Amino acid sequence: MPEAPRSVRATLNYTVDNGIPPDYWFYEPDASVKKNPPGTDVREVAIHDGWPQVAQFSLDREGFELHDFEGRFDQFDDDDSIARQFYPQVIAHVKAHTGAKRVVVFDHTIRKRLPADLSQQTTVQRPAVLLVHSDYTERSGPQRVRDVLPDEADTLLQRRVAFYNVWKPLYQRVEELPLAMCDATTQQDGDLLRMNLNYPDRTGEIYVLRHSPQHRWIYFPQMQAHQALLLKTYDSETDGRARFMGHSAFEDPTTPPGAPKRESIEVRTMAFF
């Protein structure tokens, strides 16, 4: 008989569905504000090794794929070089694996193990997100197109648009805080909870997930720097394909003591078809 896929048991931070939209504040609100933070429903789940089935995963079905990344780049400490040299490689990668006619990169984040204190973070360097979430919602996806491409948005939004994150290690394999993906075929629309992101000058929104025993979690242990995950975080199509895919970093209980700290980059793109 074939060997069963390996899995680990680890905790993921889901969000309680109490009928009130959860919120996250990027500044300290007035003392009268009653916060409703996400991630307070901590659940132990099985997270399955995706390597035995890596060729079978589909962006339009499970919501993610893993491929070798053809480009080569090693100047991740230089934002200008990332934009000039790495972004074109990301665009080529997304086009090759999605068939998109046009791909636009709109930002990137270097993920490391950093303090949760916002004062210790920058706009580019952020800690790994230990929260089950998907980056865009039914409303914030189209709004992002309008924000990034205001002169073209009305025309572009008449056709299919999808957002893909390209997630890859910087220089060495990932041995701690790997990324787990929720198979989108095991999510229900009702599992997605809209969360407000409160900034001093605006309010954005993403989805966080309430727990369901139906969720099937996948990860790729020991990802190498020449490999990249494609994560679908929004799709305008409503024909049954994956539209929003829950994901989260997690503390892998099999990480050996003294393992190198995870360093990865997440590049966010919008693709037009």
Digit-coded pLDDT (tens) for 63-119: 999 999 988 899 999 999 999 999 999 999 999 999 999 999 999 999 776 555 444
Measure CA 164 to chain center: 9
Tokens of 42: 């901590």
State how beta strands 64-68 and 217-219 pair.
unpaired
pLDDT of residue 88: 97
> Does residue 149 belong to any structural domain of this protein?
yes
pLDDT of residue 212: 98
Q: Is 123 a residue whose pLDDT tops 50?
A: no
Say how far apart CA 208 and CA 250 lie, in whole Å.
15
Pair 170, 265: CB distance under 8 Å: yes
Q: Is 185 a residue whose pLDDT tops 80?
A: yes
pLDDT of residue 4: 53
> Does residue 263 belong to any structural domain of this protein?
yes
pLDDT of residue 103: 98
Q: Is 195 a residue whose pLDDT tops 60?
A: yes
Say how far apart CA 24 and CA 26 lie, in whole Å.
7
Q: Is 35 a residue whose pLDDT tops 60?
A: yes
> Does residue 2 belong to any structural domain of this protein?
no
Say how far apart CA 158 and CA 8 lie, in whole Å.
43
pLDDT one-digit tens code per residue, 237-264: 999 999 999 999 999 999 999 999 999 9
Say how far apart CA 170 and CA 5 lie, in whole Å.
27
Say how far apart CA 210 and CA 52 lie, in whole Å.
28
> Does residue 18 belong to any structural domain of this protein?
yes
Q: Is 121 a residue whose pLDDT tops 60?
A: no
pTM of the model: 0.91
> Does residue 98 belong to any structural domain of this protein?
yes
For the ranges 100-104, 167-171, 199-203, the lowest mean pLDDT is seen at 199-203
pLDDT one-digit tens code per residue, 145-164: 999 999 999 999 999 999 99
State how beta strands 192-198 and 203-209 pair.
antiparallel
> Does residue 1 belong to any structural domain of this protein?
no
Tokens of 233: 């975080």
For the ranges 14-18, 58-62, 100-104, 121-125, the lowest mean pLDDT is seen at 121-125
> Does residue 258 belong to any structural domain of this protein?
yes
3-state SS, residue 60: coil
Q: Is 222 a residue whose pLDDT tops 60?
A: yes
Average pLDDT over every residue of 176-183? 97
Tokens of 9: 């048991």
Query: Number of structural domains, the chain?
Result: 1
* Cβ neighbours, 10 Å, residue 48: 19
Q: How far does the chain reach from its first CA to its final CA, in angstroms?
A: 43
Q: Between these two residues, 27 and 103, which has the higher pLDDT value?
A: 103
Domain span at residue 114?
7-272
Alpha-carbon distances of 259 from 217, 251, 253, 265, rounded to whole Å? 23, 12, 12, 19
Sign of CA dihedral 229, 234, 236, 241: positive
